[in-house]
Each structure stands twice: as structure tokens, then as C-alpha cells.
Structure 1
């Protein structure tokens, strides 16, 4: 009899909904699953105040960039917002269909809407008072989700963007280099050219996403938050772009001194992130959410001093034909054929037992030009991979990285050698004239290439 009773109780418990677990500091934690874009199963956690009574406003938190980011990355924010009397849902970001070179903000927005629907249907949550919060990349995703569903009650973005992703990222890397003491052609010409190359080659996803067109479709009230030391999103330019892009004036723009890109404290101007949130940040979000969900809508409010940027962003339009990725790859192919062909031809003649008469200008050109070109691209790739605020340009002299100065010296030496080689090529005959002609053709292409990439800029 006792065994039968035990089995019955176990079966009943198996079909009962799981009780919320007690989280830190009096919060309740409930695990949930939902369907994202394409039917992908996604997992999340809902945090609520343990002793809350009555329907609560709710907020879904959307990650910044990165594939498969775990929900724990936003646990600090989620707990802080839940203590303000909200139900907060955090979830593991998708890895499927998302990478450094592939992503779709529409897909991410549908993921957020799946989480939003789940939170709206959660016990103790007021379905008419659930909004979406987005960090960094989430600043493009959250407004897009809101533009697709009127059931989203409000939008909060932190370190969010209101400009094209390619323009924002180009500024971030260039600003990071400038913060490290670099000026001149590397941040001014090299970085924008490299990002346009990546975009043209399909290696930078959604480079010209039209954030302004999305904002114009957002009818919900919006809270925009930026840290004074944001080194990844332009904190001086973005708020104005957001205000102009929205089709209404029910927004609040708020700035936090001493805070970084994610509104965390920073002690070194935004380079290092403190685990602590900026003082007053969770309270400001909680107060604003309660206010707008009760019908008290803001009227173009601004709180705090507008942050200042050391440099402004610059437009990064699609490349013209002559500067496209295809033409750039063709130029590199010309370098390989023209410059590598010189020593290869000499080696073949030696193997066949024939004499080879080389000249110093030809050797300098054949070696210096490709080293400068491929070295410049490698250095720019290193700078891009290093990101914005973590830029490490190496030793810098007079605002120029020493490595870049050496690459510029190689370029100048190669072109000077090409000038000396012109009369030699005119006097040459037969196959030697063809070989030197190929070198000089490569030199002309290299000159145009180096001017475009800033390798020859002072």
C-alpha cells in the first residue's frame, strides 16, 4: 500500500508545473523554453521578486553581439531590474545561423518576440506591460522587434545604435586606435578602406542596415541609455540620430557619467568593465518602465550631460567599382604575378644552366612592394580583430605605429627603385624586357593601391 501511494504521488508531481526556484536576494527564478525564428528551441530564465503581488510589468533582455552568448552574461542586469519590481526574461542567444560573417537582425528580432510572448503568458505578469531591452547590437534588434509587434509595450536600449553597423564599427576601431595614440592614415584611410573591403566581400554582415527606417516604424515609448565612456557606440552622435529617427517624441535620453558601453562602471575611461552597474541605472530603468506602463508618457526628455567623442564618425558608403573587393583581390593577384614572377623566372633560368643578370632596382621593387602591400593588409586585419577599445597598435612614433612606418618606408623604396628601373627596362631586350615590363606594370598598380589604402599618405 505504501509503495502504491509513493508511485501515485510521484506521478502527480511529474505532471505538476515546476515550482519557481528561490534565486539570490529574494528573487524567484523559473526556467522556460520557447520557439525563436525558424522554430528553433531556445531556453531562458524568468526572474521575479519573491514577494511580489499583482500583475508585474515585464522586460525581455536582448544580448549584444556574439554567437551563443549564455543568459548568465546578463544575470547582473536581470537581477537588478527584477528588484525594481519587474519580471525579467533572459535567454541563451542563438548560435545557429549566427557568426562573425553571418547574422540577420530580423531573425534575432523574431527570437526576441518569441521570448516576449513567453513572458507575456507567464503567471503574475501583466501582458500589456511587457517591453524589450537591448544592449549594443540589441539596440538594432529591439526596435526592429517593436516595429513588428504592437504587443511590445516599450523599448529600452543601452549603448545602442541609430546608424549603419559599418559606420559604427569603423568608428569604434578607429577611435580605439586614436585613444592608443595613433593618428593619420591608419585610422583615417586604412580602417575605413578595410571595412569597406570586408563588406564588399560579404565578410561583414548587414553593413548598411537602415536603423533610421526601422526607428520611423517604432510607435512605442523608448528609453535610450549611454555611458559617458562608451568606446563602441558613438555616444555623442547616436542620441540625436535616435531622436530624429523616431516618428514620435515619447522618448527619454539618459547619460551616466563614469559608465562604459554597457552602463557598467569603468575606472579607465571605458577600456575595462567593472561588474557593478552605474549608480542609479537600474532604478532609472525601473522608474521609467513603471511610469510609461501606467500611461505617463515622456515628452522628449533628456537627463544628464551629453557625452563627448574624441572623433566623429564618417560615412562608409558601398565601394565604387574601382575600389570594390573584386578589384582589390585582382590587384593582389597582379602583385603576386608581377613581383613573385621576377625571382621565379631567375630560378628557372639557373636550373636550366643559363645565366641571370639582375639589377638592384628590380630586386628592391620585387621584394619591397609585396611586403608593403600584404603587410599593410595584415596590420589592418590585426587592428580590426583587436576591436575598438582594446586596440594595441604597438610602438607609436609621432602618431604613427612603428610597423606602419616600416611598411611605408618599404613602399617608398619600392617606388624609387621602380623609377631607377625604367631606363634599364628601355635598354633591355627579349625576355628580360618582358620580365622588367611586368615588374613596372606591377609598380604602377602598386602605386594606385598604396595611395588608396593610405600607405603613401604622410
Structure 2
């Protein structure tokens, strides 16, 4: 696909009514083609008193599939009142999902929108830029690096780090804000994200925005809320600046808004709740900055606003070692579960056949029942936290910074380790001289000896318990 797809703005017959807009604005429904020729729909908002030759700006969504254009209506209205023509569009759902997406493809959609806005009456085609929020902060620079038709770039809540590192930090920060500490947040949560990414269930996990930012030649405005809980607000601006300067671009300005969240909206509680209103001065800054840069007055390496709040640093997220890879983890999980569940399943089959036999040790029974609970319970709990951990993490009741659920799983894990040792000792005793002397006695129903089948069952259970120990340590279940 070329840098500027051949698109033409056309008036559409929308199946849904156009978004409601204030009386001081005028709207026009447009259509254009995104990546792969996908037909897309959008709305252009302008002031009723807009002057000809005005700048234009395309708004690029954050993460989410099929997000409607109205999601960005607050920004669109505010920017239009600054004298800009603003294009908002419905985000694609085709080729985009929780586990699949392409920032390059989304950048092609944005360039299609740029071409549509450049063709609008009253818009100066040399003054059209892109605005990218959150995920759009990875997408907008790609669009700008691919096309000189993009006159400027505005980034809001953007990242200069890979998506996996950002997302791992966001969920960990949410858990820490909820009072969680210890191995759950320090070990288990990043381990789960590495495994998910290695299994192909986290799209674009190691995308490095640095080279793309270094290729951006247009002026850049970076905006972050002081209370950003989804993007590390202290670490990302220097990364973005470093990448721009590496490419020789010093025409950037960064600003931090107090009392603002990830989207630069007002927040009354440190970033947890997002109010509809934009941070005071946000729209004014965008309007004045766009007017300046499109008039050839781009600022040089300027940073303003209060220092952002970031209570914990990010952790580098490299691809896992072989033992942490998704295939190995899946294989270990399968072996452990098979070894643990075989013990009670054989006991059940014996009972149904009327051949009930007491366990050599109660520890074996504990290991066969508690082991699967720990393995499956920890995975389900971690998945729950990953899906609901950002900003409003709900880990449940805490004791000394540890969720009760996690403490219970850890206690069961320790019990499984102890049960493995006790079962191994019992199995060893069953193979001793005394047991061999009673071998004939074991053939009689109810005899005290241990037959070959029982020894094999115990050996399998012990093998599962032995494999469980390093597995549980890797996932933080045996760590404080």
C-alpha cells in the first residue's frame, strides 16, 4: 500500500444517524478507504464560523475493536471550537481483536482519513495532521513516518516503550494501588504476560516505537496527564524525546496537565475516574500549537507542566527463556495435572469396581486433590487479574499486602511440597525389605503390603509433585 491511499471523500447515507453536535458546529459525513481497501466511515466537525485555509486534524483511537467515532466526541468538539476541522471515524473491527492487530494496518486507516480530510472544502491540505491517543500513540507516528501529507503529530498518553512492557506495568500499578505487594505482583503477573505473549495471545508485544519515532520529521506535541495510570508518565516522555532527537527532530513540545488522567481528561481521584471534561487548557494548547506549527513556528525541544506521578518503575519484558516459553509451560502444566489427577481417578475406578484400597499415606491423597486446585486456581486467578487489573484492580481482601485468594493458593502449594516429600518417603518404605517380606501378604484383599500397581501410581504422583516444585517457584507460589 502506498503512503497516501487513493481515497475520495464522499457524502454517505449512514445507516445510523450522525452524532449529535452543538449548534455552533457543522458536520459532514464522509467515507474513505483504509488498509486493504476497507470501507470506513467518519464525521468531519468544523466551526460554523470556520475560515477557509484552516488546519485539519484526524483523531486516531486508543485500543478497542470497532470503537465508534463518538468515543472521541469531547475532543472533536473542543478542537473544532479552536478553528480546526476534525475528522473522527469508526475504528475497524475486521482484522483487529484482543489477540490480533497490526499498528501498520491501523496507520493505513489513519492515512485514508488524512486523505479524506485534505480534500474537504475550506481545509488547507498542507495543514492536516494526526492526533493519536494511547494505542494511537504507536499508530500516529507510523502514519507520519510513511507520508509527507501528515503535517504534524499530536500524541496523548503515548508510549516510547513496547506494548508488553507498558501493559505489564499498568496492571501491576493497578494492583499496587489496591494495596497488593509480594510475589503476585513482582513475579506471577509479569510471568503470565510473558507466557501469553510467547503464546501469540498478545498482539505486537515487542513492537519498538523508537525507530519509527526517529523517522518522524514533522513537529510533535506530546501530552500526558500527571495521573496517568495506564502509561508510565515519567518514563515515556524521555523515551519519545530521545527517539525524536536521534532522528534529528527537535521540533517537539511536551506538556503535563495536573489533575488529568491517561486521556488528559479531568480526574478527581488520581487517575482512577475519568470525567467527561478535558483538562483545563488542553484544547487551547492543541489549537494554538497547531496554528503555530502550520504557520512555520514550531517550538524547539520544550517541556512544561508539573512533574508526573509514577509510583513504581516499569520492568523490561524480554521474550522468556526456554523454560518460561508457552510450549514448555503448557507441557509442564499438562504433565503435572495428569500426574496429580491420575491418583484420585484410579482410586475412584477402584471404588466403583469394589476394590477399595486405603492410601499408603494421607499425604498422597492431599497431593492428588490439592495439586490440581493450586495449578488451575492460580491460572484462573491470574487471568482474572490481568483482565481486570488496570486502574480499578479488585484482588479481593488483603492480608499484609497479599490477597487472601493468593495466600490460600500459596499455603496449598507449600502443603503440596510437604506432601510430595512425605509421599516419597512412604513410597521408599514400601520398597524396603519389610515390604518385600510381606509381598505375599499384599496379595490378599486388605493386606498391609503395597502392590506393583500402587507403587506405579505413587511414583507417578511423586513425579508430578517433584515437577510441581520448580513450577510453583517460577510462578511465585513458593515466594513471599
TM-score (normalizing by structure 1): 0.94
Q: What is aligned with 1:378?
A: 380
Of residues 122, 138, 141, the one that matches 1:140 is 138
In structure 2, the residue corresponding to 1:187 is in which secondary structure? helix
CA distance in 2, matches of 1:281, 1:113: 25
Of residues 412-421 and 115-124 in structure 1, the stretch that sits farther from structure 2 once superposed is 412-421
CA distance in 1, matches of 2:11, 2:348: 80
CA positional deviation for 1:387: 3.5
**Contact 1:22–1:50 under 8 Å retained in 2:** no
In structure 1, the residue corresponding to 2:42 is in which secondary structure? strand
Q: Deviations over 1:391-446 (max 9, x none)?
A: 11110111100100000000011111111111211133511111111111111111
CA distance in 2, matches of 1:351, 1:35: 65
Q: What is aligned with 1:345?
A: 346
CA distance in 1, matches of 2:234, 2:49: 41
CA distance in 1, matches of 2:140, 2:98: 20
> 1:284-299 counterparts in 2 under 5 A?
284-299=285-300
Q: What is aligned with 1:431?
A: 453
CA distance in 2, matches of 1:62, 1:21: 17
Which 5+ residue runs of structure 1 have no aligned equivalent?
1-14
Of residues 197-206 and 168-177 in structure 1, the stretch that sits farther from structure 2 once superposed is 197-206
**Contact 2:11–2:29 under 8 Å retained in 1:** no
CA positional deviation for 1:17: 10
**Contact 1:153–1:293 under 8 Å retained in 2:** yes
CA distance in 1, matches of 2:310, 2:23: 38
Q: What is aligned with 1:187?
A: 185
CA positional deviation for 1:25: 3.8
In structure 2, the residue corresponding to 1:208 is in which secondary structure? coil
Q: Deviations over 1:31-71 (max 9, x none)?
A: 00000011111000001111122210010000000000000
CA distance in 2, matches of 1:136, 1:370: 39
CA distance in 1, matches of 2:459, 2:12: 80
**How many aligned positions are there?**
443
Q: What is aligned with 2:389?
A: 387
Which 5+ residue runs of structure 2 have no aligned equivalent?
1-9, 431-450
**Contact 1:37–1:107 under 8 Å retained in 2:** yes
Q: What is aligned with 2:444?
A: none
In structure 1, the residue corresponding to 2:141 is in which secondary structure? helix
CA positional deviation for 1:21: 11
CA distance in 2, matches of 1:236, 1:325: 32
Q: What is aligned with 1:166?
A: 164
Q: What is aligned with 1:38?
A: 36
**Contact 1:21–1:28 under 8 Å retained in 2:** no
CA distance in 1, matches of 2:107, 2:19: 29
CA positional deviation for 1:84: 0.5
Q: What is aligned with 2:62?
A: 64
Of residues 441, 447, 450, the one that matches 2:463 is 441
CA distance in 2, matches of 1:23, 1:166: 37
Of residues 178-187 and 48-57 in structure 1, the stretch that sits farther from structure 2 once superposed is 48-57
TM-score (normalizing by structure 2): 0.90
In structure 2, the residue corresponding to 1:223 is in which secondary structure? strand
Of residues 392, 412, 416, the one that matches 2:418 is 416
CA distance in 2, matches of 1:55, 1:128: 9
